[in-house]
Structure 1
Amino acid sequence: MKELYGLFFFLPLLQRSSADVHSFSAFFIGSQGLDLPDYMERVTVDDVTMFYYDSSMNAEVPCPEWLNTTEAQEHWKDINLRSFHNRYRMALALQSAKQQFNLTGPSLDVNIYQAYSRCDLYPDGTRKAVLIHAFNGKDFLSYDIDRKTVIASVPQAVIYKRQREEDPVLTEIVASFYKKTCFERLDMFLQHAPGVRVKQVPEVRLFEKTRAGSTVLTCHVTGFYPRDVQVEWVGAGLQSVDEEMVDVLPNGDGTYQTRRSVIRPEENPEEHKYSCVVHHSSVAGDITKTWDTEEHSRLAVWISLIIFFVIIGAGLVLKRLCKTEDAGI
């Protein structure tokens, strides 16, 4: 159950290979046995949500005010219409997958069918599109957009593949969408949607801590957008932290964060420089922060002194209060 719930958010998706690539992505989720709507759909451009619909909504999603041209508003109407059609198709796909995997009985009533599509526009004008389906977190089928064919990833997907291919009109509509329409919508949102192209510069901080007798240096990078980022440590004798998770995680404000940690050599650390280098599309070149052993040693001393004086000051105040109470005030 937990594993399935985690699949609600994303398939094991392909990541954009460059921060300069613009992407129109769509996530489709049909589920049963979970405390979720039976169907959910989300459309994003460069990781920013443009459209969201689920089966608990009783009306069309209203067109945002910033889509203020006739052509853009027509695209929005079609997005709404497609969401109802997609809901119907996902229900059929979920039912077919259940039957072919012979999933029956009360203990097997939790199932998720997902589809993910993406249209990528590269700086040189190259266009690429992908559409994949998954059932209960595993590949089910995919589409070859150029050949207009459906590829079954597992034997249980063959029946549904044949059902899709029996409808040549649907096949042409799908191929046309991923060859043309999704790129038109990508361009539309890039032109109109507020905040899509606003890049946020990463904030880089360095930390030191002791773990199992070793000194670990951590480079925390946060507040950046878009998502693609490269973070690396540079310095002699550094070792990576094997168990560290290096995922890029979302912040609550639409930006992202990540971190990289290394183990610093214990012998003569003052003789070496250790730098965290961050590459991100929001800045030309890179951002480099260097760990200064002496500087952080001085900082530690100052922090210790501040704590010492705070404790002394608190003691003096407490002593005066005690004298005041003794005087009966």
Structure 2
Amino acid sequence: MRKMKEVYALFYVFHLLQQSSGDVHSYSVNFIGSQGLDLPDYMERITVDDVTVFYYDSSMKGEVPCPEWLNSTADRQHWEDINLLALSNRYRVASALPSVIKQFNQTGFSSKVSIFQVYSRCDLYPDGTRKAVFIHAFNGRDFLAYDIERKTITAAVPEAAINKQQREEDWVRLEFVVSFYRTTCYERLNMFLQNVPQLKMKKVPEVYLLERSRSGSTVLTCHVTGFYPREVQVEWIGPGLQSVDEEIGRVLPNGDGTYQTRRSVIRPEENPEKHSYSCVVYHSSVPTNITRTLGLEVHTWLWVGIPLTGTVLFIIIGTVILIKRFIKRKETGT
């Protein structure tokens, strides 16, 4: 189970890195065929944006049951097709893996553990623009890449040349792949966007401001938590602020399905009382923005000579917030 989580963690991170920000919606499919690991021979995961909508592996018996929130005939037909395609993908990957291993063996490759990975995604932008990605990898290295618009395949390494030729000669399969990522993929994306309960959920961010001293400077932190969906923009406004670059754009999951992030800046030390500093949060759950101004709500933290990683700071902030909620509930008797 630990190895399975590690493999899927790799794909989840890759998925997040590939996703665009803002209102772009994505339908992503990850296949993994492996040997030499204590894992199912084949695993498949489909996500819409950051929500898993379908999971199948070779240890499962029968089809994946259709969820209750897909109740129209057309939607259920799509679900049945997804199940059939998962079986097809399973056998195609099972066939491809020995072939790929053979090609690498001919160039001196030797390993008892092999992983053949396929990642595909179709993105739908707010202006209607569509973009599709379909790539293969072997043991963590690029192997093949499809260009959906040009109907071409590129071999990333010399060992992939034979597989590239075989796929180009199978023009029926190539036309199916192109058609899927030009049309079907977006039909399913829209279907899930309209039906998956989690994709309709919106939770308003909670915003907390913190002030701390570090190496003779004053660091202002805007901690934003409890929001969904994942996309969020956090900005500090005020004169002379210097960004803490390593924190920009880092969004982490909470344990309840929501997300958290933070944005820190270094405040000028000269006459700070003469200026106003505010954190502005933009999120789809609110019509405009959420603005918090330093001095109206601030928690002061002083750490002297104790370097803290971003993860530790997240834990501390989260703990303080939970304590505050608990105290408030005790006071109100709830």
Which of structures 1 and 2 has the bigger CA Rg? 1
Number of equivalences: 295
In 1, Cα distance between equivalents of 2:75 and 2:297: 55
* 1:16 correspondence with 2:20: yes
Deviation, structure 1 residue 299: 11
Deviation, structure 1 residue 174: 0.8
Deviation, structure 1 residue 245: 6.8
Q: 1:262 aligns to what SS in structure 2?
A: strand
* 1:131 correspondence with 2:134: yes
* CA contact 2:212–2:301 (8 Å) conserved in 1: no
Matched letter for residue 79 of structure 2: W
In 2, Cα distance between equivalents of 1:149 and 1:261: 45
In 2, Cα distance between equivalents of 1:36 and 1:272: 58
Instruction: Identify which of 240, 243, 259 aligns with 1:240.
Output: 243
* CA contact 2:218–2:269 (8 Å) conserved in 1: yes
Partner residue of 1:270?
A: 273
* CA contact 1:27–1:117 (8 Å) conserved in 2: yes
Deviation, structure 1 residue 113: 2.5
Q: Cα RMSD (Å) of the superposition?
A: 2.7
Q: 2:75 aligns to what SS in structure 1?
A: helix
* CA contact 1:11–1:137 (8 Å) conserved in 2: no
* CA contact 1:46–1:226 (8 Å) conserved in 2: no
Partner residue of 2:253?
A: 250
Partner residue of 1:289?
A: 292
**Can you give the 5+ residue segments of structure 1 that lack an aligned partner in the other structure?**
301-329
Which range moved further: 21-30 or 67-76? 21-30
Instruction: Identify which of 216, 222, 225 aligns with 1:222.
Output: 225
Partner residue of 1:157?
A: 160
* CA contact 2:43–2:57 (8 Å) conserved in 1: yes
Matched letter for residue 29 of structure 1: I
Partner residue of 2:118?
A: 115
When the two structures are superposed, what TM-score results if normalisation uses the length of structure 2? 0.79
In 2, Cα distance between equivalents of 1:113 and 1:216: 45
Q: 1:115 aligns to what SS in structure 2?
A: strand
In 2, Cα distance between equivalents of 1:174 and 1:208: 53
Change (3 A) 1:71 1:227: same
In 1, Cα distance between equivalents of 2:113 and 2:276: 53
Change (3 A) 1:187 1:9: closer
* 1:207 correspondence with 2:210: yes
In 2, Cα distance between equivalents of 1:205 and 1:158: 54
Q: 2:18 aligns to what SS in structure 1?
A: coil
Change (3 A) 1:248 1:299: closer
Which range moved further: 59-68 or 37-46? 37-46
Matched letter for residue 20 of structure 2: R
Partner residue of 2:29?
A: 26
Deviation, structure 1 residue 199: 2.2
In 2, Cα distance between equivalents of 1:297 and 1:173: 58
Partner residue of 1:322?
A: none
Change (3 A) 1:163 1:252: farther
Instruction: Identify which of 191, 195, 206 aligns with 2:194.
Output: 191
In 1, Cα distance between equivalents of 2:124 and 2:31: 21
In 2, Cα distance between equivalents of 1:211 and 1:111: 47
When the two structures are superposed, what TM-score results if normalisation uses the length of structure 1? 0.80
Change (3 A) 1:14 1:8: closer
Partner residue of 1:317?
A: none
**Can you give the 5+ residue segments of structure 2 that lack an aligned partner in the other structure?**
303-334
In 2, Cα distance between equivalents of 1:142 and 1:175: 13
Change (3 A) 1:81 1:268: same
Q: 1:101 aligns to what SS in structure 2?
A: helix
In 1, Cα distance between equivalents of 2:259 and 2:154: 35
Alpha-carbon displacement from aligned partner over 1:7-65 (angstroms, at most 9, x marks no partner): 2434364222432x332221222233333322211112222211111122122101112
Deviation, structure 1 residue 242: 4.4
